[in-house]
Structure 1
Amino acid sequence: MSKRRKILQNEQLILHSEVNGVCPLCPTVLIYEKNGNNQKGFEIAHIYPLNPLPKEKTLLKNEKKLNSNSDHGDNLICLCFPCHKKYDNNKTVEEYRELVKKKEDILKRKKEQEIWSKTSIEKEIFEIIELLVDQNLVFEDNLEYSPKTIV
């Protein structure tokens, strides 16, 4: 039996932001206000169970796993309390596939954001503009435009 690791607060924040603060299985907001204070309304769920019961092993035996380590962040997702309880106690293949698909979409979006953040296209465009401004370019060609009417 695998020991459940403590999920640190920063990882919880990352997982919360991955689902945009809303339970991926229902429209419940995962942080709510009560008596002027913000309250945590979510738990971190293992998409593929950390310690699957025999019936879960049978149910999910041919299903895709997001990571070979069930305690890896790729296999974790924020769910509201009722959805987490329902998912853990009465899992269906359809719900499992739905969560796998949602997490795959999240991981794809994260990868795209990572690639985009490493792209320096704006900087490169700025450098080209600066080069053009610094040059004493003389355009030999006279450009003429003949507008046409579209009927």
Structure 2
Amino acid sequence: MSEYNISFFIKIMQPTLVDISGQEDAARLLLNSIASRDDVLVDINARMVTNLVKRNNEIHDAIKMASSKHEVIDETINYYETVIIPKLNPHTKEDTFSEILKILENDSTVSEHKYNELKAFYLNEKTSVFLAHCLLYAINKTNKVLSHIPIADDYPLLKEVNNHCPSCTKSLVKTVKGKSISQYQIIKIFPEGLNKSEEQLFKDAIPPPSNLESNDNKLALCNDCSHSYSFLPDVDEYKLMMDLKSDAIRSTQTSEYISSMDIEQKITEVVDALGKIDNLNNLQQLIFGGGFN
């Protein structure tokens, strides 16, 4: 599932910010109006940004607490009007706004009211208000991926990849104090939220399964790889995921075949052994009567 959070906001905004070299600079620029306040003073450094983008951490509490103040909201809108808007690539900024709205619409945790509110800012050409409120909303959404115990519905998909990410080979489940903790996400290979032209491009590359809600369209990936794929996947990434799914299915089928062959071999050995006994009745008599002769 696509999720709206500060990780997504940083990643979607970075490419459209002119003269910004990386995610650290992008995050610092996007958050600076709040982080640099005297009552906040949070250092937006490389380690913090990496953990935010990888969804290892929540955003700093001081930033989150400040974001709800009316004066901060007004300052953020003004900052985005005077600092952020002039730095947006005029050729690609509308694409970025469209992608933000798409993720907001597809995230089941975003209320319809909130989505309509943000969309109205955009449609009324209040771009700075739209982006400022998108940032403030992202700050207040859960960012860190929460660990959980693997659920039964996921077991077939975990078994399919032998409990290892098919993309990077990381373990998908770890044991902590005797409990199994998930280190994975289940992705939908044929992505959600595509427009009609995008859907056709993906279908032309590789036809998707007939039932997009079935396990045929799902794959277990580690948290990092799943986040990377969920963030605006392209056709080449889709084809790679479909190949990984096919490889996983073939591997599972091969393992099951070998396992069945082992069982058949054992049955054959038992039958052969029984075939070497001339008379089971005589054998029984020998066993029970031999001690009394």
Q: 1:130 aligns with which of 266, 274, 281?
A: 274
Deviation for aligned residue 1:117: 5.0
User: CA contact under 8 A between 2:175 and 2:181: conserved in structure 1?
Assistant: yes
Deviation larger for 21-30 or 68-77: 21-30
User: CA contact under 8 A between 1:50 and 1:71: conserved in structure 2?
Assistant: no
Deviation for aligned residue 1:102: 1.7
Residue in 1 aligned with 2:212?
70
User: CA contact under 8 A between 1:74 and 1:107: conserved in structure 2?
Assistant: no
Q: Secondary structure at the match of 2:168?
A: coil
Q: 2:167 aligns with which of 18, 25, 46?
A: 25
Which structure's CA Rg is the greater one? 2
Deviation larger for 120-129 or 70-79: 120-129
TM-score when normalising by structure 2: 0.38
Q: Indicate how the Cα distance of structure 1 residues 113 and 72 shifts in structure 2: closer, same or farther if over 3 A, else same.
A: same
TM-score when normalising by structure 1: 0.66
Residue 88 of structure 1 aligns with an amino acid whose one-letter code is: S
Residue 167 of structure 2 aligns with an amino acid whose one-letter code is: L
Structure 2, gaps ≥5 residues long: 1-107, 109-149, 280-293
CA distance in 1, matches of 2:182, 2:239: 26
CA distance in 2, matches of 1:37, 1:121: 36
Deviation for aligned residue 1:77: 0.7
CA distance in 1, matches of 2:218, 2:171: 18
CA distance in 2, matches of 1:64, 1:81: 25
Q: Secondary structure at the match of 2:204?
A: coil
CA distance in 2, matches of 1:83, 1:134: 59
Residue 124 of structure 1 aligns with an amino acid whose one-letter code is: T
User: CA contact under 8 A between 1:49 and 1:70: conserved in structure 2?
Assistant: no
Deviation for aligned residue 1:27: 3.6
User: CA contact under 8 A between 2:189 and 2:217: conserved in structure 1?
Assistant: yes
Structure with greater strand share of residues: 1
Residue in 1 aligned with 2:181?
39
User: CA contact under 8 A between 2:167 and 2:244: conserved in structure 1?
Assistant: no
Deviation for aligned residue 1:134: 1.8
User: CA contact under 8 A between 2:172 and 2:183: conserved in structure 1?
Assistant: yes
CA distance in 2, matches of 1:56, 1:39: 36
**Does residue 1:82 correspond to 2:224, yes or no?**
yes
Q: Which has the higher contact order (CA 8 A, sep 6+)?
A: 1
Q: How many residues align?
A: 129
**Does residue 1:92 correspond to 2:237, yes or no?**
no
Q: Secondary structure at the match of 1:62?
A: helix
Structure with greater helix share of residues: 2
RMSD of aligned alpha carbons? 3.0
**Does residue 1:111 correspond to 2:253, yes or no?**
yes
CA distance in 2, matches of 1:134, 1:37: 50
Q: Secondary structure at the match of 1:23?
A: coil
Residue 273 of structure 2 aligns with an amino acid whose one-letter code is: I
1:9-48 CA deviation, whole Å, 9 max, x = no partner? Answer: 2221221222222222224322235677543221110111
Q: Indicate how the Cα distance of structure 1 residues 117 and 39 shifts in structure 2: closer, same or farther if over 3 A, else same.
A: closer
User: CA contact under 8 A between 2:174 and 2:183: conserved in structure 1?
Assistant: yes
Residue 267 of structure 2 aligns with an amino acid whose one-letter code is: K
Q: Indicate how the Cα distance of structure 1 residues 134 and 66 shifts in structure 2: closer, same or farther if over 3 A, else same.
A: farther
CA distance in 2, matches of 1:34, 1:118: 33
